[in-house]
Amino acid sequence: MAKKIVNLLILLPLGVILIVFCVANRQSVTLAFNPFRPDDQVLAVSAPFFVFLFIAVISGMLIGSAATWFSQGKHRKRARTEAKEAIRWQGEADRHRTRAEDIAGQLPSR
C-alpha cells in the first residue's frame, strides 16, 4: 500500500510536469544532419521540439546505464565466483557433518 502511495506521489506530479513540458514545446523544429547544406531535406528531420528532447534524455539514460553495467561487470563476476565457491564449501561441510554423525553413531555408548 505504501509503495502505491509513494508511486502516486512521485509519478503523478512527474506525469503532469511532462504533459506541461510537451504542450509548452510543441513547436516544429528541423534537425539537420548535413552541416554543409542545412536546407537539404534528405538529411533533415522535422518534429516537435519535445520529441528531440525526449530522445536525448532517453538515449542519455541508456548510454549511462550501459556504461554502469559494463563498469560493474567485474563485481558481478566476483559475486558469481564466490557464490559457486560458497555452494561448494556448503556441500563439503554437509559431507563432513554426515560423516561425523556416522562416526558418532558407531561409537559404543558408555
Mean pLDDT, the chain, whole residue set: 89
Q: Is residue 28's pLDDT more than 70? A: yes
Residue 45 bridge partners (DSSP): 31
List the domain range (segments joined by +) for residue 96: 80-105
CA distances 50 to 14, 46, 58, 103, Å, are 15, 12, 12, 75
The three three-digit cell numbers of residue 63, written as one number? 548510454
Does 1 reside within a domain? no
With beta carbons less than 8 A apart as the criterion, state whether 49 and 27 touch.
yes
Instruction: With CA atoms as reference, report the closest residue to 51 among 34, 33, 26.
Output: 26
Q: Which residues of 26-65 are buried (b: 16+ CB within 10 A; e: fewer)?
A: eeeeeeeeeeeeeeeeeeeeeeebbbeeeeeeeeeeeeee
Answer yes or no: is 39 within a domain.
Answer: no
Asked whether residue 25 is assigned to any structural domain, the reply reads no
Please give the residue that has the higher pLDDT: either 36 or 80: 80
The percentage of residues in the chain with a pLDDT greater than 90, rounded to a whole number, is 46
For residue 101, being part of any structural domain is answered with yes
How far is residue 55's CA from residue 68's CA, in Å, rounded to a whole number? 20
pLDDT digits (tens, 9 = 90+) for 44-75: 999 999 899 889 989 999 999 999 999 999 99
pLDDT of residue 53: 87
Q: Which residue type sits at 5?
A: I
Q: Could you tell me if residue 69 is inside a domain?
A: no
State the pTM of this model.
0.63
Asked if residue 110 is part of any domain, the answer here is no
Q: How confident is the model at residue 109 (pLDDT cuts 50, 70, 90)?
A: low
Check residue 71 and give its pLDDT.
95
Domain count within the chain: 1
Residue 105 pLDDT exceeds 70 = yes
* 5 found inside a domain: no
Give the residue with greater pLDDT, 104 vs 99: 99
